[in-house]
Chains A and B, each alone.
Chain A
Amino acid sequence: MATLTISDKERFLINQEGQDFSHEAKTFIKIRELALKNLKDLDFPTNKLEDWKYTNLRGISKIEFRPQSAINIIAAKVKAHKIPNLDAYTLVFVNGFFSAEFSDTAEEKDGNFVVTNLNTAKKKFIKFVEPYLGFQTRAKDQFFVNLNAAFSQDGAFVYVKAHQKLDKPVHIINLVDGDLVAAYPRNLIIADKLAEAQVVVSYETIDTASALSNVINEVFVAEGAHVQMDKIQNENGNTYHIGADYAVQHKDSTFTINTIPANGKLIRNNLSILLDGTGCTANLNGAICLNGDIHVDNQTYVDHAQPNCDSNELYKAVVNDQAASIFNGKIYVNKIAQQTNAFQSNANILMSDDAKANSKPQLEIYADDVKCSHGCTIGQFDDEALFYLRTRGIKESTAKKVLLEAFIGEVLDNIKIEAVRDYASALIAKNFNSKN
């Protein structure tokens, strides 16, 4: 008799099943089916893959993560994860499921904008959702992108009509509560022609001994539109966070994304921006301050597909204790993308002997009239500056704080909403000190 063996991946996928998506429109079920089909040929990425060289997911496939809806959420525990002084439309998701009770949706009467959960939008605003959902994430070869596409429970839906502006930011709070949770939140953000939106996405935990957050953000920035997104990752030290952010930009649009990975066990961000019209500006910033044994891996990809676009990328990391920060930034300039300005900078400060930083800039340029630059530095704390401050009577602890704040502050200045900037600054300041 043949022995039937089942791989870790197969067992993992079986654990994700059991959610009923049959109520969804056919077009959305098709996306899930395609993703499931892709998953058949894919597996958890290993270090053998160049893009996963420094991030080891060994063991994650053996953990019995499962989708779980949270029960009996206590209001105070949700409130604790709001950003103080932030006046926003708040959407709350727990373990990937929408929590209407804690959310305030908005559907402007004349349809100027819609802020709601994706499952509602899939029914009520199908004509807005259908052309966009999954459009950017058809990547056949990405295991986690397909995993989210297949099993995503819900997410935020933000749509701003042409010429309209969201009157206040949208804050999407993603919480995890419970052990061995697999959460698959997926947000879809669309700014139509000349529209404007500010979106803050935060990932936090109520309580968990182990969890997987596998998230996707899809952003569409139409002609002349402006979208700013701040992404704050503040989950507890038992949480694996594998995220992908996709943005497509059309002519003369501006997209800014500020990523702040502050806490978690392992964080992987795949950020991919397609400049698909002339005159676009994309700003990608990362403020990374780590302590303990967290592992953070930021992969960015900017595709200059059209001429006359600018991309500005600034990632800065302060790495303490045994933490690791990986940066892999790729810029691709198509042969027709003349007059491209692409700037990339990655600076790292290692605060301890065991801290790690890896930086890999990749430029692939096929046009001949472009300005591209990249720079990466990995260094120790500036002892000379520290000594200088101390000779002026400034205590060592204060001096260190002043210097680190100045270093990271250059990135945080890109967060335009003051309350969000304060929140991010406070998370970062906590990590200046060693956890040991």
Chain B
Amino acid sequence: MLKINGLKAEINGKEILKGLNLEVKPGEVHAIMGPNGSGKSTLASVLAGREEYEVTGGDVDFEGEDLLDLSPEQRAGEGLFLAFQYPVEIPGVSNINFIKTAVNEVREYRGLPNLETKEFMKLLKEKQQLVELSGKLANRSVNEGFSGGEKKRNEIFQMAMLNPKLGILDETDSGLDIDALRIVANGVNELKTKDNAFVVVTHYQRLLDYIVPDFVHVLYDGRIVKTGTKELALELEEKGYDWIIDEFKETV
């Protein structure tokens, strides 16, 4: 589904990703962990198409398409979704109109007709329940005045509405209490099928108790320096990153 090959990216002339390789297949959940500044959020941003980052090398294949050649909206149309670490507040745009516009634009991209209001409302209700998002938030401006937990649940709600092939969760767990974390994780687990995949970028092993990964990757200095199974996350929680960094430095 996703094949990242030697990806290099920089911002303001500073290289952050230094030749990153990663392959994600349908039905898989990948966790990306790593110390601060290792490039985790950069990876998420580059995949979603944030323009501040300049890709200087490598390529990304997503379902046979050259992902880096596509605009952010085209990537969404192709089935990529990024749940933001810091969801943006948009005053004056109601959450419901926003998601309706998004759903219909994505459907248009995929050659599907607009959803009838009735169908849309049904889908809306169903997905709101999935992340226990209050109906009241639908009429409020996007993320404006939402609590931290509500913002993150709103991200998962949007993901559920857009039904992507690949969902990238950028530190969706940071700042959440256990209850909110459970709701978010439960939402993701409900959405999981054998045909889609998730990349979970996180700082803490905690989230991985709820969203069980098939692979855990450690990102350091712009590269994936170690890959393992969920047990690796537990080991990281216990021992920190230094041993991996040392191991990596020895091989270099």
Contact = CB atoms under 8 A, between A and B. Distances in A.
A406 interface: yes
A385 B48 CA distance: 14
Nearest to B106: A393
6 smallest CB-CB distances across A and B, nearest first, come from: A406-B92, A393-B76, A393-B106, A392-B102, A390-B72, A388-B88
B91 interface: yes
B109 interface: yes
Contacts of B72: 387, 390-391
A384 B75 CA distance: 17
Interface string A376-411: 000000101101111111111011001101110110
Interface string B90-124: 11110000110110011001000000000000000
Given A387-B72, A388-B84, A394 B102 contact: yes
Interface string A71-96: 00000000000000000000000000
Contact of B90 (A385, A396, A398): A385
A405 B71 CA distance: 23
Given A393-B102, A394-B105, A405-B92, 12 more contacts: A382-B90, A385-B88, A387-B72, A387-B88, A389-B90, A390-B73, A391-B48, A392-B106, A392-B158, A394-B73, A398-B101, A406-B91
A187 B241 CA distance: 76
A382 B93 CA distance: 13
Given A385-B88, A407-B92, A402 B48 contact: no
Contacts of A398: 101, 105
B76 A392 contact: yes
B92 A393 contact: no
A388 B91 contact: no
Which of A382, A388, A396, A405 has most chain B Cβ within 10 Å?
Answer: A388
Contacts of B106: 392-393
Contacts of B105: 392-395, 398
A392 B92 CA distance: 17
B171 to A, nearest CB: 16
Interface in B61-91: 71-73, 75-77, 81-82, 84, 87-88, 90-91
A191 to B, nearest CB: 32
Contacts of B162: 392-393
Given A396-B71, A406-B91, A391 B49 contact: yes
B23 interface: no
B88 A396 contact: no
Contacts of A384: 88
Which of A395, A403, A410 has most chain B Cβ within 10 Å?
Answer: A395
B125 interface: no
A406 B105 CA distance: 19
A409 B158 CA distance: 24
Contact of A409 (B49, B92, B98): B92
A95 B185 CA distance: 68
Contact of B71 (A385, A390, A403): A390
B51 interface: yes
Contacts of B102: 389, 392-394
Interface string B128-153: 00000000000001000000000000
Tell me what chain A mostly uses at the interface: helix, strand, loop, or mixed. Answer: helix
A170 B99 CA distance: 39
A405 B232 CA distance: 49
Interface of A: 382, 384-385, 387-396, 398-399, 402-403, 405-407, 409-410
Given A388-B87, A402-B93, A403-B93, A393 B98 contact: no
Given A403-B93, A406-B91, A387 B101 contact: no
A303 B227 CA distance: 71
Which of A390, A402, A406 has most chain B Cβ within 10 Å?
Answer: A390
Contacts of B49: 390-391
Contacts of A394: 73, 101-102, 105
B50 interface: yes
A403 B93 CA distance: 7
A146 B84 CA distance: 59
B101 A403 contact: no
Which of A393, A398, A406, A409 has most chain B Cβ within 10 Å?
Answer: A393
A61 B51 CA distance: 49
Contacts of B48: 391
A396 B51 contact: no
A405 B91 CA distance: 11
B50 A387 contact: yes
A386 to B, nearest CB: 9
Contact of A393 (B77, B84, B87, B141): B77
Contacts of B77: 393
A388 to B, nearest CB: 4
A403 B90 contact: yes
Nearest to B101: A394
A389 B162 CA distance: 13
A388 B90 contact: yes
Contact of B76 (A391, A402, A403, A406): A391
Contact of A410 (B82, B87, B92, B158): B92
A33 B72 CA distance: 66
Contacts of A410: 91-92
A395 B74 CA distance: 8
A101 to B, nearest CB: 43
Contacts of A387: 50-51, 72, 88
10 contacts: A388-B90, A389-B90, A389-B98, A390-B49, A390-B72, A391-B76, A393-B162, A398-B101, A402-B93, A410-B92
A396 B87 contact: no
Contacts of A392: 76, 98-99, 102, 105-106, 158, 162
Contacts of A396: 71, 73
A393 B70 CA distance: 12
